[in-house]
Amino acid sequence: MESYLIAISIGILIYMLMALGLSLHYGFTGLVNFGHVGFFAIGSYTSALLALQGVPIPLAMVGATLLTALAAWPLGIVALRLGSDYLAIVTLGFSESVRMMLQSEEWLTRGMHGLPGIPRMYEGWIPAAQIDLAIMLTLLAVNGAVFWLVTRVVKSPFGRVIEAVRDNEVAVRALGKDPARFKTRSLMLGAGLAGLAGAFQAHYLTFLSPEQFVPLITFYIWIAIFVGGANRLLGVALGTVIMVGFLEGSRFVRDFVGGISEVQMASVRIWVIGMALILIVLYRPQGILGTKAGKST
């Protein structure tokens, strides 16, 4: 039972890192990023490929985080030219392009065959039975550190500017600050977080394939931050827990409610998510913990 709970926790914590990054993008800077899974993918594959070449895992993960943040830079240059409607599509195109590239460049990524045998985190350092526990604890610590970091960033002068960019870009410009630079930096920071999450995924699953990085993942993260409250970090954490908890928990519902086949259960699960989205937008748009201040939806 424990191993199962640990596995779920790891899933939650990896998603939480991604969600923190997206909340930086949308909750605090007002950037509508629908391509977040693309950063997740870049981080995953970079760390995996580096580690497969012999680079020690901690270094590979750091490298992956940095590379992902760098990859966000050109996207940032594009972001500054486009309004939110367009940014959503362009970022979605970005993540799909990343996925297509992962599928096609077999010489690098083995394409659709995937990358098996990725070095597992802590392999050789900790007895095998304890590794998942160690990974979970590491993720807890990292998430804690990122929480602290993002809180500091948000309270810093930089943070105040990006919130201003979210609320009133014209005013920011009038004050002589260039919104573009701040948007780009915010984008890079959030992307780096997603990249770090991806690196964890690679060294936990030890198997990567392009099918793991579909836009649906981005949508799940969006739902998570929306349900919890996009501009409050605790809300983001809560939203992720609820989201993953629901997706996993719905398995057990079938054990209690007879008469529904597995096929139908899959439909019911997503149906409930859809209804939850509709109802939350209609009746509690700030999410469970979000504040009405900030990006009003």
Partner 1 sequence: MELIPILNAVINGTVLGTLLSLPILAITMVFGISRFPNAATGDYMTLGAYTAVATQAWIGSSLVLAVVSASVVTALIAVFFYLWVFRALAKRSNVARLIASLGVAFVVRTTITFFAGQDQYNLEMGRIMRAWNWHGIRILPMDVYILLTAIGALGIAFVILHATPLGRRMRAVADNPDLAAASGIRSRRVMLYLWLLSGFFCGLGGVLLAIKAVVVPELGFELLMPMFAAVILGGIGNPIGAVVGSLIFGISQEIATLYVGPSYKIVIAFLVLLVLLLFRPQGLFGRPIMAR
Partner 2 sequence: MKTQQPKNTSRRDFLSVGLVLAGASLAPWSLRAAPAGQPFRLGALNSITGVGGPYGVPMLEAIRLAVDEVNAAGGAAGRQLQLFAEDDQTKPDAAVLAAKKLIEVNQVQAVVGIWPSSVGLAVMPITNNAGLIMMNTCGAPEMLTENRKGLAWMFQASNAVFGRAFAEVARQRGFKRPAVMAFNNSTFVGLANYFKETWEKDGGKVSSMVIYEPNQTTYRTELNRVLATNPDVIAMGSYRPDATILLREWYQTGQDCKFIMPGWTANEALVKALGKEVTEGIISISNVAASGNPAYKSFSERFRAKVKHEPDVFAAQSYDMVIALALAIEAAGPTADIAAINGQVKAVTRHGGEKISSFAQGRDLIRAGKAVDYDGASSNLEFGAHGETVPDFGVSEIENGKLVLKETVPGTR
Residue pair 71/189 in contact (Cβ under 8 Å)? The answer is: no
Q: How far is the CB of 198 from partner 2 (least distance, A)?
A: 12
Q: Which of 96, 134, 140, 288 binds partner 1 (CB under 8 A)?
A: 96
Q: Which of residues 53-92 bind partner 2 (CB under 8 A)?
A: none
**Closest approach of partner 1 to the CB of residue 277, in Å:** 3
Selection from partner 2, partner 1, none that 249 binds (CB < 5 to 8 A by kind) is none
Per-residue tokens: 229 = 């409250």
Nearer to partner 2 (CB atom), residue 124 or residue 176:
124
Does 124 participate in binding partner 2 (rule CB under 8 A)?
Answer: no
| Residue 92 contacts partner 1 per CB under 8 A | yes
Provide the minimum distance between the beta carbon of 132 and partner 1 in the complex, in angstroms, as a whole number: 31
Is 7 a binder of partner 2 (CB under 8 A)?
Answer: yes
Among 130, 149, 274, 293, binds partner 1 (CB under 8 A): 274
- Choice between 113 and 284, CB closer to partner 2: 113
Q: Choose the contact partner of 257 out of partner 2, partner 1, none; CB within 5 to 8 A by kind.
A: none
149 binds partner 2 (CB under 8 A): no
Residue nearer to partner 2 on the CB measure, 70 or 133: 133
Number of residues that bind partner 2 (CB under 8 A): 38
Q: Could you say whether residue 263 binds partner 2 (CB under 8 A)? A: yes
Written in H, E and C, the secondary structure of the chain is CHHHHHHHHHHHHHHHHHHHHHHHHHHHCCCCCCCHHHHHHHHHHHHHHHHHCCCCHHHHHHHHHHHHHHHHHHHHHHHCCCCHHHHHHHHHHHHHHHHHHHHHCHHHHCHHHCECCCCCCCECCECHHHHHHHHHHHHHHHHHHHHHHHHHHHHCHHHHHHHHHHHCHHHHHHCCCCHHHHHHHHHHHHHHHHHHHHHHHHHHHCCECHHHCCHHHHHHHHHHHHHHCCCCHHHHHHHHHHHHHHHHHHHHHHHHCCCCCHHHHHHHHHHHHHHHHHHHHHHCCCCCCCCCCCCCC
Q: Which of residues 167-226 bind partner 2 (CB under 8 A)?
A: 201, 205-207, 209, 211-212
Do 121 and 130 touch, CB atoms closer than 8 A? Answer: no
Yes or no: say if 152 and 90 are a contact pair by the CB < 8 Å rule: no
> Of 48-56, 137-145, 222-230, 251-259, which segment contacts partner 1 by CB under 8 A?
222-230
Residues that bind partner 1 (CB under 8 A): 26, 32, 78, 81-86, 88-90, 92-94, 96-97, 100-101, 103-104, 169-170, 215, 219, 222-223, 226, 263-264, 266-268, 270-271, 273-278, 281-282, 285, 295-297
